[in-house]
């Protein structure tokens, strides 16, 4: 009898050992964002599970998540009270508080969400950059970034230009397509797959110096640029600031740019690439004098079609998703679901970082060049109030919990609508979506544990399991 009691005791003890681990669970639906769920615990794993999280099968490292500092983001936030602005920056950037963004993007001079076109030097043929100035940035981008640094001093910033100074371009204009929003003449138009940057030695040297002065000017503001990319969307002729290049042309410029950046301990990535043609990267990487400087590739929009090949062919290069697709200014749930599909495509194919686009915009989200876009935050200009949009909470479902240095984990099973990671502290993070119109029970196996949440209809969920 004593032996039987001892066996029963050991069985109960064993069961309790597996049932006492509490799972942190947060859920978001269209009408109820970021709700903490209580009462979910792990139990001892069995052979039956919808998904196995393969905790020993570690894939790419995660460098971080973030957003972009655009002028229209700052001007929208400037309409709010200082108290509201501080609450926003705390929510976005304070570690372990809200989104915990750690890796962000900024433009080199004007982009399509600037208040107007400008560059740091519009003095024709000023090859020595004597008239270089970031005066406009001091009014907008610098205070924007400093407001974020207040809550995240170690925030990493990388940068890329949308257009070089107009005098460096063959058409002498910031845009490449005529529109009612610009004064470009038809004969000045540019197109994809051509170099609109003047391909001459003195221009390459001057533009590399332009980058160098940009990095130094920001360092004087205690903002340290960690990485640059030579051109935003080099395969896109736009009505707003833009400059198309061939891969060969960009390669020539990188030959001038990279040594200067390397001397300043600033990394150089190839990009941003908005094409699914991975051969662009081949063109660069086949040149030893250039490829030794390239640390990664930036990918956005149509570039998502190239990421799988790049991940396979260049396992030593970092792959950054560099711009969340922009939406239409409605900030609706439908687009949030599309954003989730984008996140899965990028992260499941090797992306090391994921970057949202507009941090904040006035309601309607219209740009200086007439494009309505989504944003993490919308500002009501009449009432001077703000709200966080659906995509903000989706970003937060990953960025709050997936820490820099985390590894994505391979999963196996019938349920695939998820992403999983292991943090440096060994905690397991599962981000899962239930797209159905009814509740869905899913069982996850994690090592010798299992957890069986019931997800609400049409919900995003993050589970954190500590080992």
Chain Cα centroid distance, residue 389: 17
Helices of type H across 299-389: 307-313, 333-348
Cis amide linkage into residue 272, ω under 30° from 0: yes
The pLDDT, as a whole number, for residue 5 is: 52
Q: Is the predicted pLDDT of residue 4 greater than 70, yes or no?
A: no
Q: Per-residue pLDDT tens for 264-300? A: 999 999 999 999 999 999 999 999 999 999 999 999 9
Instruction: Identify which of 330, 336, 337 has the alpha carbon closest to the alpha carbon of residue 435.
Output: 337
**pLDDT value of residue 245:** 99
pLDDT in tens, 153-191: 999 999 999 999 999 999 999 999 999 999 999 999 999
* Nearest-angstrom CA–CA distance, 151 and 153: 6
User: How far out from the chain centre does Cα 315 lie?
Assistant: 20
Q: Where are the domains of the chain?
A: 19-59+408-465, 63-401
Give the model's pLDDT for residue 16.
Answer: 47
pLDDT band at 2 (very low <50, low <70, confident <90, very high): low
Q: What's domain 19-59+408-465's architecture? A: Sandwich (2.60)
Q: Look at residue 9 in the predicted model and tell me its pLDDT.
A: 45
pLDDT exceeding 90 applies to what percent of the chain? 94
Residue with tokens 């507009």: 358
More confident residue, 57 or 1: 57
Beta bridge partners of residue 92, listed in sequence order: none
Using CA atoms, how far residue 300 sits from 248, 291, 439, in Å, is 20, 21, 34
User: 36 burial class (0-12, 13-18, 19+ CB within 10 angstroms)?
Assistant: exposed
Residue 121 to residue 112: CA distance in whole angstroms: 18
Q: What is the pTM of this model?
A: 0.95
What is the average pLDDT across 207-223? Answer: 99
Average pLDDT over residues 300-325: 98
By mean pLDDT, which of 37-46, 159-168, 327-336, 374-383 is the weakest? 37-46
pLDDT tens sequence across 319-353? 999 999 999 999 999 999 999 999 999 999 999 99
Among residues 297, 233, 290, the alpha carbon closest in space to that of 261 is found at 290
Average pLDDT score over the chain: 96
**Helix-then-strand count for the chain, H and E:** 12, 23
Contacts of 335 (CB under 8 A, 6+ apart): 327, 328, 374, 390, 391
CATH class of the domain comprising 63-401: alpha beta
* Local structure of residue 169 (DSSP, 8 states): B
Three-state DSSP state, 65 = strand
Nearest to 401 by CA among 418, 416, 423: 423
Torsion angle, CA of 199/201/204/207, rounded to 10 degrees? -120
Q: Looking at residues 109-113, what average pLDDT do you find?
A: 99
* % the chain with pLDDT above 70: 96
Predicted local distance difference test score (pLDDT) of residue 350:
99
pLDDT of residue 20: 62
Does residue 450 surpass a pLDDT of 90? Answer: yes
């Amino acid at each position: 009898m004593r032996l039987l009691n001892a066996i029963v005791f050991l069985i109960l003890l064993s069961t309790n050992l597996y049932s006492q681990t509490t799972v942190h669970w947060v859920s978001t639906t269209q009408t109820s964002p970021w709700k903490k769920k209580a009462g979910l615990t792990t139990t001892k794993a069995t052979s039956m599970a919808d998904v196995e999280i393969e905790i020993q099968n570690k894939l790419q490292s995660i460098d971080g998540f973030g957003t972009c500092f655009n002028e229209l983001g700052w001007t929208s936030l400037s309409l709010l009270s200082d108290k509201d602005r501080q609450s926003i920056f705390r929510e976005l950037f304070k570690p372990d508080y809200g989104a915990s963004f750690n890796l962000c993007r900024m433009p080199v001079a004007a982009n399509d969400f600037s208040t107007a076109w400008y560059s740091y030097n519009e003095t024709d043929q000023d090859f020595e950059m004597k008239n270089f100035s970031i005066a406009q940035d001091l009014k907008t981008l610098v205070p924007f970034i400093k407001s974020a640094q207040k809550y995240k001093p170690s925030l990493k910033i990388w940068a890329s230009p949308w257009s070089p100074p107009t005098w460096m371009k063959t058409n002498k204009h910031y845009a490449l397509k005529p529109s009612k929003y610009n004064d470009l003449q038809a004969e000045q138009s540019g197109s994809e797959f051509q170099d609109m940057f003047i391909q001459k030695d003195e221009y390459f040297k001057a533009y590399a110096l332009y980058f160098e002065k940009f990095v130094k000017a920001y360092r004087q503001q205690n903002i340290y640029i960690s990485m640059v990319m030579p051109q935003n969307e080099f395969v896109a002729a736009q009505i707003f600031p833009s400059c198309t290049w061939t891969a060969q042309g960009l390669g020539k410029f990188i030959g001038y740019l990279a040594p200067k950046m390397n001397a300043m301990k600033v990394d150089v990535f190839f990009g941003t690439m908005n094409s699914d043609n991975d051969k662009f990267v081949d063109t660069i990487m086949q040149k030893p004098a250039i490829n030794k400087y390239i640390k990664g590739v930036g990918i956005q929009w149509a570039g998502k079609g190239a990421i799988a090949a790049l991940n396979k062919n260049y396992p030593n290069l970092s792959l950054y998703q560099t711009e969340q697709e922009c939406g239409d200014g409605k900030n609706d749930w439908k687009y949030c679901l599309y954003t989730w599909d984008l996140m899965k495509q990028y992260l499941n194919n090797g992306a090391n970082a994921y970057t949202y686009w507009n941090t904040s915009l006035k309601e309607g989200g219209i740009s200086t060049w007439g494009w309505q876009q989504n944003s993490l935050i919308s500002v009501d200009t009449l009432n001077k109030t703000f709200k966080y949009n659906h995509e903000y909470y989706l970003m937060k479902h990953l960025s709050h919990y997936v820490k820099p240095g985390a590894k994505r984990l391979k999963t196996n099973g019938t349920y695939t609508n998820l992403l999983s990671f292991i943090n440096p502290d060994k905690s397991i993070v599962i981000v899962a979506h239930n797209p159905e119109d009814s509740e869905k029970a899913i069982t996850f196996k994690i090592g010798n544990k299992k957890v069986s949440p019931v997800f609400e209809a049409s919900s995003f969920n993050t589970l954190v399991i500590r080992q």
